Amino acid sequence: MSSGVETVTPGRRLGLAEEYEAGSGTYTRNGMIYSSILGTKVVQKAEESKEADSQSKPTLHVERSNAKFAIPVIGSEVLCRVVRMNPRAASVAIMMVGSTPCQEDFQGVVRVQDIRATEKDLVQMINSFRPGDIIRAEVISLGDQRSYYLATTKNEHGVIFAQSAAGNTMVPISWEEMQDPKTKDTEKRKCAKTF
């Protein structure tokens, strides 16, 4: 809910920290909420709290309509493409964080022990991913100098799009198999539960 269209520039005072909550696109300093990006000021009314807490304050956001590029943060869901594989880890290129694209692909790595939640020692990389697969994963750590560490342990994480050896798009038939609809061949992947 917006209270009028007011364009604000970075560093513009928006309100007092005791009257408002600081939302996205803002920062707080010395008890005052300032805008941190160029955008429109949005005041979101406080949600009705179940405990009848009358202390909830409206939230101040600054929003920008055109493309805002994201960076991976711990706990965020990312969409990646498998680039390289070795028996211990798969290198992936992170293309999207949530529903926001990245300006340039970030580098990530899915280690073999982070592919499944159970029976981690029996996982084989070649039966989980192949280069070129598109996977959905979760960022578990900021990782080392080059890559973020990702995991596909959750049911809804894993391969969401893959092509068979024959070049056709495969359909998941179980959590560990995908089938080529034309040749009827099955290939092993760690599939994401998309339904």
Structure tokens, 44: 């979101």
Please enumerate in sequence order all residues whose Cβ is within 8 A of that of 90, keeping only pairs 6 or more positions apart, or say none.
82, 84, 109, 110, 125, 128, 129
Q: Is 114 helix (H, G, I), strand (E, B) or coil?
A: helix
Kindly state whether residue 12 participates in binding another protein, applying the rule CB under 8 A. Answer: yes
Neighbours of 156 (CB within 10 A): 13
Size of the site for another protein (CB under 8 A): 35
Interface with another protein (CB under 8 A), residue from 16, 19, 49, 71: 71
Cβ distance 98 to 41 under 8 Å?
no
Please enumerate in sequence order all residues whose Cβ is within 8 A of that of 160, keeping only pairs 6 or more positions apart, or say none.
79, 134, 135, 136, 191, 192, 194
Spatial distance between the Cα atoms of 180 and 82, rounded to a whole number of angstroms: 19
Kindly state whether residue 51 participates in binding another protein, applying the rule CB under 8 A. Answer: no
Site for another protein in 144-183 (CB under 8 A): 144-145, 148
Kindly state whether residue 126 participates in binding another protein, applying the rule CB under 8 A. Answer: no
**Least Å from the CB of residue 38 to another protein:** 4
Q: Which stretch binds another protein (CB under 8 A): 24-32, 79-87, 158-166, 182-190?
A: 24-32
Q: Is 98 helix (H, G, I), strand (E, B) or coil?
A: coil
**Least Å from the CB of residue 79 to another protein:** 12
Interface with another protein (CB under 8 A), residue from 47, 52, 53, 66: 66
Kindly state whether residue 69 participates in binding another protein, applying the rule CB under 8 A. Answer: yes
Kindly state whether residue 58 participates in binding another protein, applying the rule CB under 8 A. Answer: no
Interface with another protein (CB under 8 A): 7-13, 25, 27, 29, 34, 36-40, 64, 66-69, 71, 73, 95, 101-107, 142, 144-145, 148
